[in-house]
C-alpha cells in the first residue's frame, strides 16, 4: 500500500514537471517564432551591485563589529566563570559549588540566547532590506522590458545560452542607482 502511494506521488510529480516544462517550451517557442525578444538578468548580481545594497551592507558590517565586541566580552565572562568554577570545584563546599554552577549555567544560557536573538535580529533586518530592494528592482526590470520592447525578462541562471546584448544585469543596476540614489 505504501509503495503504491509513493509511486502515485512520483507519477503525479513527474506529470506536473512535464506539464510545466511543456508550457515553458511552448512559451519560449512562441516568443522565438514571432518578433519577440527575451531579456535576461542575473538578479542577484544586479541587486548586489546597487549603491543601496552596498550601503546597507556597510551599515550591517558596522553593526556586526559593534555586536561582535559585546558578544566577545560576554563570552570571555562565561569562559572566566567556567575556569574559576573548575579551579575551585574541589575546595568549595557543596552548597556554594551548586550556587556557582547554577550561576554559570544561567549566565551561559543567557549568553547563548543573546547570541541567537542577535542572529535572528540581523537576519530579519537583512531580509527587510533585501525585500525592499528586490521590489524596486522588479519595477526597474519591468520599465526596462517596456522600454526595450521585450516580451519577457527571465532569470539568467535558468538559461543555458543567451545573446549578451539581451543581458540587462548591468543596465538594471545603473537604472536602479539613477532612480534610487
Q: What is the pLDDT of residues 153-174, one digit of tens each?
A: 888 887 777 778 888 889 999 9
Over 50: is that where the pLDDT of 10 sits?
A: yes
Query: CB atoms < 10 A from the CB of 155, how many?
Result: 11
The pLDDT assigned to 33 comes to 54
Asked if residue 11 has pLDDT above 80, the reply is no
163 shares a domain with 116: yes
Residues 157 and 115 in one domain: yes
Residues 114 and 96 in one domain: yes
DSSP track, the chain: -HHHHHHHHHHHHHHHHHHHHHHHHHHHHHHHHTT--EEEE-HHHHHHTSHHHHHHHHHHHHHHHHHHHHHHHHHHHHHHHHHHHHHHTTTS-HHHHHHHHHHHHHHHHHHHHHHHHHHHHHHHHHHHHHHHHHHHHHHHHHHHHHHTT-SEEEEGGG-S---GGGB-HHHHHHHHHHH--
pLDDT at 74 over 80: yes
Confidence of residue 93 (pLDDT cuts 50, 70, 90): confident
Q: How many distinct structural domains can be found in the chain?
A: 2
Same domain, 50 and 2: no
Domain match, 43 and 23 both: no
> Which whole number is the average pLDDT over 69-87?
91
Nearest CA-CA partner of 84 in 70, 96, 67: 96
Residues 32 and 50 in one domain: no
The whole-number pLDDT of residue 30 equals: 55
- Are residues 100 and 42 part of one domain? yes
pLDDT value of position 86: 87
Check residue 4 and give its pLDDT: 40
- The answer to whether residues 145 and 152 touch, using CB atoms and an 8 Å cutoff, is yes
Same domain, 6 and 43: no
Residue 3 has pLDDT above 50, yes or no: no
| Per-residue model confidence as pLDDT tens digits over 115-160 | 999 999 999 999 999 999 999 999 999 999 999 888 888 888 877 7
**Among 4-8, 55-59, 71-75, 81-85, which stretch is predicted with the lowest mean pLDDT?**
4-8
Q: What is the pTM of this model?
A: 0.66
For residues 57 and 13, state if they share a domain: no
8/59 same-domain check: no
Q: If we measure between CA atoms, which residue out of 149, 131, 141, 147 comes closest to residue 169?
A: 141
Q: Collect all residues with Cβ–Cβ distance below 8 Å to 154 and sequence separation of at least 6.
A: 38, 39, 40, 41
Does 26 score more than 80 pLDDT? no
pLDDT at res. 6: 46
Domain housing 140: 37-179
DSSP string, 146-179: HHTT-SEEEEGGG-S---GGGB-HHHHHHHHHHH
Amino acid at each position: 500500500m505504501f509503495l503504491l502511494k509513493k509511486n502515485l506521488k512520483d507519477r503525479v510529480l513527474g506529470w506536473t514537471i512535464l506539464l510545466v516544462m511543456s508550457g515553458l517550451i511552448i512559451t519560449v517557442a512562441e516568443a522565438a517564432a514571432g518578433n519577440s525578444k527575451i531579456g535576461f538578468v542575473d538578479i542577484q548580481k544586479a541587486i548586489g551591485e546597487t549603491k543601496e545594497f552596498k550601503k546597507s551592507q556597510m551599515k550591517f558590517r558596522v553593526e556586526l563589529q559593534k555586536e561582535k565586541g559585546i558578544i566577545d566580552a560576554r563570552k570571555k565572562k562565561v569562559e572566566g566563570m567556567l575556569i574559576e568554577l573548575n579551579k575551585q570545584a574541589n575546595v568549595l563546599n557543596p552548597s556554594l559549588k551548586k550556587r556557582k554552577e547554577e550561576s554559570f549555567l544561567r549566565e551561559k544560557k543567557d549568553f547563548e540566547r543573546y547570541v541567537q536573538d542577535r542572529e535572528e535580529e540581523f537576519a530579519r533586518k537583512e531580509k527587510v532590506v533585501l525585500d525592499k530592494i528586490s521590489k524596486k528592482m522588479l519595477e526597474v526590470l519591468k520599465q526596462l522590458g517596456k522600454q526595450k520592447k521585450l516580451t519577457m525578462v527571465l532569470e539568467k541562471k535558468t538559461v543555458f545560452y543567451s545573446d549578451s546584448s539581451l543581458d540587462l544585469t548591468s543596465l538594471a543596476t545603473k537604472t536602479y542607482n539613477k532612480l534610487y540614489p
